[in-house]
Amino acid sequence: MTAIRRLNAAYLAVACLAAGLGFLIAGAPAIAAPEPDAVPRRWEFRMEPGDLRIACVSTPNGEPRAYFYMTYTVTNATGQDRFFAPRFELATDNGEIVRSGKNVPPEVADELIRRIDNPFLKSEIDVQGLLLQGDEYRRDGLVVWRADDLLADEISVYAAGFSGETRTIDRPDNGEPILLRKTIMLRHSTPGDLDCRDDRTLERISTRWIMR
């Protein structure tokens, strides 16, 4: 489990994570994922991430729960109208990997949109669709995760669907090909127990493109 806790710092075994395994293959050699092209050769949306925050929100049955959430703005300057269907995952240094929207009631997203008070903000489902070119067609999206791990010292958000760049590598254990996608990685420092009652911003320590 040590390798998983140091996933972001060591940046090893990304191939396993990219395949959705969420664990290291016993006996497999650690490999470093390839870096994205220094100069983008495929289409790429402009993505401006907002802060990652934690908040308490009451579920439909009235029980308050902790949720991580983040807003972002996406703009299409690729020279062509393109379909936009992003994928967000949140990973903690304790090994938890969560897809955005999983076990998040729609009412929770509605409440967070109400609190943020941005008339252009769309939910994770509503933000998807054909994204036209130009700043006037940019979209503001909200991403929400249920916060089950409140003891993490580091949290990373992975945002895919903002670039057309891909790379294929072979798994170290069986040689099967894995398709990696150019992905935005947002790392956050979260030392100490997290408390959702203050709706606080989590410190971002790095933003970079990776292949995942």
Tokens 């990696």: give the residue. 180
Give residue limits of the domains in the chain: 38-165+179-211
Q: CB 94: neighbour CB atoms within 10 A?
A: 14
CA distance linking residue 71 with residue 52, whole number of Å? 8
Q: 38-165+179-211: what CATH class?
A: mainly beta
Distances (CA, A) of 139 to 9, 68, 143: 32, 20, 13
Mean pLDDT by 10 residues, the chain (212 residues): 39 36 39 85 97 93 92 98 98 97 95 96 97 98 96 97 96 92 98 87 97 96
pTM of the predicted protein model: 0.84
pLDDT of residue 16: 34
Exposure of 48 by Cβ count < 10 A (0-12 exposed, 13-18 middle, 19+ buried)?
Answer: exposed
Of the candidates 186, 191, 192, the residue with the CA atom closest to the CA atom of residue 205:
186
pLDDT of residue 204: 98
